[in-house]
Amino acid sequence: MIKPFSLFLTALTLTAAEPDWPEVDRHAVSFLQSYLRIRSVNPPADTREAAALFAGELRRAGLEPRLFASGPGGQTNLLVRLPGRDRAKKPLLLLNHFDVVPVDPKGWTADPFGGIVRDGFIWGRGAMDMKGIGAQQLLALILMKTTGTVPARDIIMLSTADEETNGTLGIRWMIEKHFPEIDAEYVLDEGGFGTRDMLADGKLVFGIAVGEKATTWLRLRARGIAAHGSQPIPENANDILLEAIRKARQLPAAGQLHPVVADMQRLMGAPFASNKYTNAIRQNTVSLTTLTSGVGDPPKVNVIPPVAEATLDCRLLPGTNAQEFISKMKARINDPRVSVELLSQPDDPGASPAGTPLFRAIAGVIRRHHPTAAVTPMLVPHGTDSVKLRLKGITAYGLTPMVLDRQTSTMHSDDERIPVAEYLKGLRIYLDVLRSEF
Ligand SMILES: [Zn+2]
């Protein structure tokens, strides 16, 4: 049950500058539960209900959200602004997304859209990616308003309909149609996080994402000769493809660490933990993601096909020249029967600078709440909407103000959940960041 918001507001008003935390916490949990119960699955990213939930919450606090319908299927973006003291400065943009990836309920031990609290966790699709953070951004902004705290500069919050299918009806649409309204000096988005085991073993590290790897999708196509399976031939497209894939994946050994990763290493004061995440942020990577071959439907077992295809999901460190990466791959494959096609033009705006007043403010707030934490800029291996804003010259940071360990790192996976205590602590961190000078 959601407590009547008027009660929440009254409690806040009475305590003026400091929120009534027990009441705020009760409301924050029930709010996230309501949010997780909304099936804003992408596709189709019908986010009308999520936008209405946010809009109602904002209006009750005296803020004026604007809704932008970006597609025919209910795709809805929301934008709201809290004026700050220095209106000459460009704003801080809080960025989150309403949409979530689909679920296969069979793999879950809880209803993915039940929004239940169990064993100290809030469970549901989007708890981590990124309804939990979206709720923290929203509630922190509302607490600024209801406690009468005027931020150092304007703060705007944009909640988008479509992040999980590349932002076409979300951030890309807003940039194309309404950029002046979201133009900002800084963006806070998803990305970094606190962890005791994912980055360094047994050491609390808080990473603030300043950059991400560039997504580079390739298709390899091998052409051979169709033949009868009873008589093997060297021109078998499958064999040609397998050999090409093997060579494509033989990346040169990683040289020097990327400067952001070298900073991480230094600031953590501990070796990187050994896992797929730290592996991915230290080098360019190639994942073989699809294989397509065979003649007929269903494919015939006794026919050697003339063509075989594979796709490679390559992720390149910022500053890597994609064309050079591809030419080197072609040179390694060195087979005229194999073509390498670029499926998506990689976006590489490079990393945002970490030496800004906002970065220092965030680091200071995190250290206040987690005195033993090493705080560091970091790279993330996956794509976020931040890249589109960095391309516009905006300094973008990924901030997940929660400590999450490997076991509960459940982004896009079954049983997605976040610890209630971290969610509530993260709300305090977010509020303190918004209250900072930057
Ligand atoms: Zn996300």
**CATH code, domain with 115:** 3.40.630.10
pLDDT at 410: 67
Q: Give yes or no: residues 223 and 132 share one domain.
A: no
Determine the distance separating the centroid of ligand 1 and the alpha carbon of 129, expressed in angstroms: 4
Domain membership of residue 129 as a residue range: 5-191+384-435
Helix (H, G, I), strand (E, B) or coil at 373: coil
Q: Tens-of-pLDDT digits for all 438 residues of the chain?
A: 444 444 454 444 444 479 999 999 999 999 999 999 999 999 999 999 999 999 999 999 999 999 999 999 999 999 999 999 999 999 999 999 999 999 999 999 999 999 999 999 999 999 999 999 999 999 999 999 999 999 999 999 999 999 998 899 999 999 999 999 999 999 999 999 999 999 999 999 999 999 999 999 999 999 999 999 999 999 999 999 999 999 999 998 888 999 999 999 999 999 999 999 999 999 999 999 999 999 999 999 999 999 999 999 999 999 999 999 999 999 999 999 999 999 988 999 999 999 999 999 999 999 999 999 999 999 999 989 999 999 999 999 999 999 998 776 666 789 999 999 999 999 999 999 999 999
Half-sphere exposure (CA, 13 Å, Cβ side) for 102?
Answer: 6
Q: Give yes or no: residues 138 and 46 share one domain.
A: yes
Tokens representing 315 are 């992720």
Determine the distance separating the centroid of ligand 1 and the alpha carbon of 328, expressed in angstroms: 32
Q: Which of 395, 403, 406, 355 is nearest to 377 (CA)?
A: 355
Q: For residue 335, is it within any domain?
A: yes
- Which residues have a beta carbon within 5 Å of ligand 1, which is an ion? 129-130, 190
Which residue type, as a one-letter code, is found at position 16? Answer: A
Tokens representing 122 are 């809030």
**Which residues neighbour 120 within 8 Å (Cβ) at sequence distance 6 or greater?**
419, 420, 421
Determine the distance separating the centroid of ligand 1 and the alpha carbon of 265, expressed in angstroms: 26
Q: Give yes or no: residues 36 and 184 share one domain.
A: yes
Residue 69 burial class via C-beta count within 10 angstroms: exposed 0-12, middle 13-18, buried 19 and up: middle
Q: Tell me which of 292, 309, 342 is where a domain ends.
A: 342
Residue 393 burial class via C-beta count within 10 angstroms: exposed 0-12, middle 13-18, buried 19 and up: exposed
pLDDT at 345: 85
Q: Across the strands, what pairs with 418?
A: 122
Determine the distance separating the centroid of ligand 1 and the alpha carbon of 244, expressed in angstroms: 33
Determine the distance separating the centroid of ligand 1 and the alpha carbon of 162, expressed in angstroms: 10
Q: For residue 82, is it within any domain?
A: yes
Q: Tell me which of 309, 342, 375 is where a domain ends.
A: 342
Determine the distance separating the centroid of ligand 1 and the alpha carbon of 60, expressed in angstroms: 27
Distance from CA of residue 369 to its chain's centroid? 23
Determine the distance separating the centroid of ligand 1 and the alpha carbon of 385, expressed in angstroms: 8
Q: Give yes or no: residues 95 and 64 share one domain.
A: yes
**Phi and psi dihedrals of 80, rounded to 5?**
-145, 150
Determine the distance separating the centroid of ligand 1 and the alpha carbon of 188, expressed in angstroms: 13
Q: For residue 101, is it within any domain?
A: yes
Determine the distance separating the centroid of ligand 1 and the alpha carbon of 389, expressed in angstroms: 15
pLDDT at 408: 66
Determine the distance separating the centroid of ligand 1 and the alpha carbon of 86, expressed in angstroms: 31
Tokens representing 416 are 């997605």
Determine the distance separating the centroid of ligand 1 and the alpha carbon of 48, expressed in angstroms: 18
Q: Give yes or no: residues 137 and 251 share one domain.
A: no
Q: Measured between alpha carbons, how far is 46 from 161 in angstroms, rounded to an integer?
A: 7
- CATH code of residue 274: 3.30.70.360
Prediction pTM value: 0.91
Q: For residue 358, is it within any domain?
A: no
Q: Measured between alpha carbons, how far is 300 from 20 in angstroms, rounded to an integer?
A: 68
Angle at 368 (CA atoms; ends 363, 374), nearest 5 degrees: 50
Task: Determine if residue 290 is left, alpha or beta; phi over 0 gives left, psi from -120 to 50 gives alpha, anything else beta.
Answer: beta
Q: What are the Cα distances from residue 279, in Å, to 193, 239, 324, 379, 425?
A: 17, 29, 22, 12, 29
Determine the distance separating the centroid of ligand 1 and the alpha carbon of 130, expressed in angstroms: 5
pLDDT at 271: 95
Q: Give yes or no: residues 221 and 181 share one domain.
A: no
Determine the distance separating the centroid of ligand 1 and the alpha carbon of 138, expressed in angstroms: 16
Q: For residue 154, is it within any domain?
A: yes
Determine the distance separating the centroid of ligand 1 and the alpha carbon of 382, expressed in angstroms: 10
Q: Give yes or no: residues 51 and 178 share one domain.
A: yes
Cβ atoms 124, 112 nearer than 8 A: yes
Q: Give yes or no: residues 20 and 61 share one domain.
A: yes
Do you know the residue count of the chain? Answer: 438
Sign of CA dihedral 130, 135, 137, 138: positive
Residue 135 burial class via C-beta count within 10 angstroms: exposed 0-12, middle 13-18, buried 19 and up: buried
Q: Provide the number of structural domains found in the chain.
A: 2
Q: Give yes or no: residues 218 and 152 share one domain.
A: no
pLDDT at 255: 83
Q: For residue 320, is it within any domain?
A: yes
Determine the distance separating the centroid of ligand 1 and the alpha carbon of 236, expressed in angstroms: 42
Per residue in 311-341, is it b (16+ CB within 10 Å) or e — as a string? Answer: bbbbbbbbebebeebbeebbebbeeeebebe
Q: Give yes or no: residues 21 and 131 share one domain.
A: yes
Determine the distance separating the centroid of ligand 1 and the alpha carbon of 406, expressed in angstroms: 18
Q: Tell me which of 342, 375, 396 is where a domain ends.
A: 342
Q: For residue 86, is it within any domain?
A: yes
Determine the distance separating the centroid of ligand 1 and the alpha carbon of 371, expressed in angstroms: 28
pLDDT at 344: 85
Q: Give yes or no: residues 316 and 245 share one domain.
A: yes
Distance from CA of residue 281 to its chain's centroid? 15
Q: For residue 31, is it within any domain?
A: yes
- H-only helix segments in 370-408: 386-390
Q: Measured between alpha carbons, how far is 47 from 27 in angstroms, rounded to an integer?
A: 22
Q: Give yes or no: residues 252 and 181 share one domain.
A: no
Distance from CA of residue 356 to its chain's centroid? 22
